[in-house]
Amino acid sequence: MARSNNISVGFVIFLCLYFRPLAFSEEPTAEKEAPIVGQIFESPVPVNNYYFVKRTLMVFGNKWGPQPKTQEELEDVIWEQLVLSYEAFRRNSAVTKQERDAEIARVLQEEKAAFDWKKDKDAYTKWVKEKTGEEAELFENQINHLLQLKKLRDEVMNSFTPAVSEEESHEAFLDEQDSIELELAQFDTKEAADEFHNKVLKDSKFWDEQKGKAPNNFRRPGLVTLIFLIDIWKIPRDDLYKMLKMGIGNIYQAAPIYKGYGVFKVLAKRLADEAAYTKLKYSYHDKVAAMKKYEGLNEWIKKLKQDANIKIYRKGG
């Protein structure tokens, strides 16, 4: 849980207000008289609902992705959670009191709170106020909201039964077990990277000469697994497999990286023990299946947001 000292100054202003948890209904209610900030599935979104989700994100952070770094990213996460909450409402997905209480107990234990929250309500109320700046009732509603979203996500993800081939399991094994150490020269464009690569092929000393002139353009991630280079450095898997087949000191052509392009020098390699795969193949099968389920969930959310036809009348602020 994000601690209160991480909450932005702008957000503190909203702590003096009380917003009820999300409520979606087809029947006319007083809630619909509240200011409307947008629309999902042709249903109005009251400003109360928008701020409730925003406050939950500020207190607990984004449970299912990177933390928003810009206002645009924050808005995207807020509206995604509003859509998911609406879908949970449509599916009559409910969180029991026992589930909510168990999650509150887990959060308190994780935060090393030294009191029985059910028996010592004063200590509990004080703790919530100090940690989040809000009342216990709102805190509990936020817990309920997050559990409801988790239930929905789990339900959807577990509905997928992806097929996993032997080749995919083996590839996942190699991604984690093969390691390579590279030095790379980084460029903004492929044209610049290609030009550098061609010059290095003609003159083996050119690499070190350029490194001496512009050392900040050269990187050495160390001896790391392929999956690290794939996930963190965004180097294409096919290019890495080709590098593994090269000799030490060889130069590999321009390929995309997380920012721009790189030209690569192979410094060291450590190949997987193929004999170990026999014992590990089923665990890698499960890893690939879990990854495919997660990808399926993300595609489902993407389509759900498209179907929701989100219309934002004004930013909640």
| 26 and 155 belong to one structural domain | yes
| 12 and 109 belong to one structural domain | yes
| 202 and 235 belong to one structural domain | yes
Predicted confidence at residue 4, as pLDDT, reads: 39
| 151 and 184 belong to one structural domain | no
| 25 and 133 belong to one structural domain | yes
Closest Cα partner for 101 from 119, 83, 84?
119
Predicted confidence at residue 226, as pLDDT, reads: 97
- In whole angstroms, what is the distance from residue 13 CA to residue 312 CA? 23
Q: What is the full per-residue pLDDT of the chain (317 aa) written as tens digits?
A: 654 333 222 222 222 233 344 554 444 444 446 689 999 999 999 999 999 999 999 999 999 999 999 999 999 999 999 999 999 999 998 899 999 999 999 999 999 999 999 999 999 999 999 999 999 999 999 999 999 999 999 999 999 999 999 999 999 999 999 999 999 999 999 999 999 999 999 998 999 999 999 999 999 999 999 999 999 999 999 999 999 999 999 999 999 999 999 999 999 999 999 999 999 999 999 999 999 999 999 999 999 999 999 999 976 55
Q: Is residue 48 part of a domain?
A: yes
Q: Per the structure, how many domains does the chain have?
A: 2
Q: Which long-range contacts (CB under 8 A, 24 or more apart) does 38-42 make?
A: 38/79, 38/310, 38/311, 38/312, 38/313, 38/314, 39/309, 39/310, 39/311, 39/313, 40/79, 40/82, 40/83, 40/86, 40/308, 40/309, 40/310, 40/311, 41/83, 41/86, 41/307, 41/308, 41/309, 42/309
Q: What is the CATH number of the domain that holds 12?
A: 1.10.4030
Q: Is residue 203 part of a domain?
A: yes
Q: Is residue 291 part of a domain?
A: no
Closest Cα partner for 75 from 248, 300, 316, 282?
316
Residue 284 near residue 258 (C-beta atoms within 8 A):
no
Q: Is residue 93 part of a domain?
A: yes
Paired strand residues for 179: 225, 270
Q: Is residue 280 part of a domain?
A: no
pTM for the whole thing?
A: 0.77
Q: Is residue 290 part of a domain?
A: no
| 107 and 23 belong to one structural domain | yes
| 83 and 205 belong to one structural domain | no
| 34 and 154 belong to one structural domain | yes
| 65 and 206 belong to one structural domain | no
| 19 and 52 belong to one structural domain | yes
Q: Is residue 292 part of a domain?
A: no
Predicted confidence at residue 314, as pLDDT, reads: 74
Q: What CA–CA distances, in Å, run from 298 to 12, 61, 151, 313?
A: 32, 19, 15, 26
Structural domain that includes position 152: 4-159+300-312
| 253 and 189 belong to one structural domain | yes
Q: Is residue 173 part of a domain?
A: no
Closest Cα partner for 220 from 252, 269, 190, 264?
264
Predicted confidence at residue 22, as pLDDT, reads: 56
| 110 and 40 belong to one structural domain | yes
